[in-house]
Homo-oligomer: A and B are copies of this chain.
C-alpha cells in the first residue's frame, strides 16, 4: 500500500489539505487508489507543538513515505523567533533532508481563468512554462553565513552563494529530460556577467548539453532579462532552468502572470526512490487563514502531480486535473479568482466538494 504524508503546516495550509483529504477519500473509495494517509507537523504549527519547525520523527515519517504533501509554512505569529526556529526552516530542512534538488514549478494558464490575469489575454493564452529550480543549494544553504559584529560595533550579515559542478549537472539533467517530453527547449538563467557561480552554472549546463543533450535547444539568459521577458512575452519559454534564489523569484512572477496563482502546484524531486515533496505554490496567506475562503485547487493539483510522478496512478492524476478544470468551466470560483459572467463564488469546502463530486 502506498503511503502519503500530509503536512498541513500554517495559515491556510490545514484548510486546503482538508480538501485534499476529501479527494483522496473519494479516490480510495471509488477508484481503488488504496492510499494510506498519515499526518505530521511542520513550520509554525510544529514549533508550537514540538519546539522545532521540523521534528526528527516527522523527517523519518517523510522518508518512510512514498510522497509528502505540504500545505504552507510561515506567518506573522513567528516573525520574531530566532533564525533556526523559523517555520521556513522546517521546510528547508525537509527539502534538504530528503535531498530534493529539483523543484518543478509549472506556470500555466487555465483557459477559464485567462481573464483573471492582469496581463492581456493574447499575451498569456496557452501559456505553459515549466520552471526547474535547484532547491537544496545556492545561497539558501551556502556556508559561511550569519550576522557578525565588527570591531567598530556595526554588524555584517552575510550568506554564500555556492554551486558545484555535480549540483548543477543533476538539476540540469532533470530540466533536459523534461524538455524532451515537452517542446524540447531549455532556457538556463543566471547572472554569469556579475557572479562567478553563475558563470560556472552557464559553462556546466552548456558542457552537459553538448555531451548528452544536443537534441534539446539550449539558450542562456541573465536573470534580470528573464524577469523582463516573462512580462514581455512569456510564451517564448518552454523549460526554464535556474538556481534556488532566482527560481524562487522568477517562478513566483510567472505564476502571477497566469492569473491562476491559487491554482498552481509544484513538486520537489530527489534521487529515484526518495519520496517527493508536493506543495501549492501559494504561501500560508495569514490574512485569509481560518475564514474558509482559500482556494484548495493548487493543493489538489499538487496531489495530482504526486499521483503522476510517484504514486503510479497517472490515470487518477488525469481524472483529478480534469475534475478541477471542469469545475472552473462550470463557473465555480474562490475569492482569489476574478469573477466574471456566469461564475459562482464558493469557499474552500464548496470548491473541494464540487471537485470531489466530479470524481
Question: Which of these, B74, B162, B166, B230, contacts A157 with CB under 8 Å?
Answer: B162
A37 within 8 A of B: no
Q: Which residues of chain A (147-168) have a CB below 8 Å from chain B?
A: 147, 150, 154-166
Chain B residues near A199 (CB-CB < 8 A): 83, 147, 157
Beta-carbon contact of A198 and B74 below 8 Å: no
Q: Which of B120, B139, B154, B164 contacts A156 (CB 8 A)?
A: B164
CA–CA, A197 to B233, complex, Å? 33
In the complex, which residues of chain B have a beta carbon less than 8 angstroms from the beta carbon of A200? 147, 155-157
How many copies of this kind of chain does the complex include? 2
CA distance A158 to B144 in the complex (A): 11
Chain B residue nearest to A227 in the complex (CB)? B253
Closest to A226 in B: B249
Q: How far is the CA of A232 from the CA of B120 in the complex (A)?
A: 13
Complex: how many Å from CA A86 to CA B191? 13
Min Cβ gap A193→B in Å is: 5
Q: Which of B150, B196, B256 contacts A147 (CB 8 A)?
A: B196
Contacts A118-B120, A145-B195 known; 19 new A-B pairs at CB < 8 A? A83-B196, A86-B193, A118-B231, A118-B232, A118-B233, A139-B195, A140-B195, A155-B204, A157-B163, A157-B164, A157-B195, A157-B196, A159-B196, A191-B248, A228-B255, A231-B257, A232-B256, A246-B249, A249-B249
Could you list some 28 contacts between A and B, CB below 8 A?
A: A86-B193, A88-B194, A92-B194, A119-B231, A120-B120, A139-B139, A139-B161, A140-B194, A145-B195, A154-B164, A155-B164, A155-B200, A156-B165, A157-B162, A157-B163, A157-B164, A157-B195, A157-B199, A157-B201, A158-B161, A159-B196, A160-B161, A223-B248, A224-B248, A227-B249, A228-B255, A232-B256, A249-B249
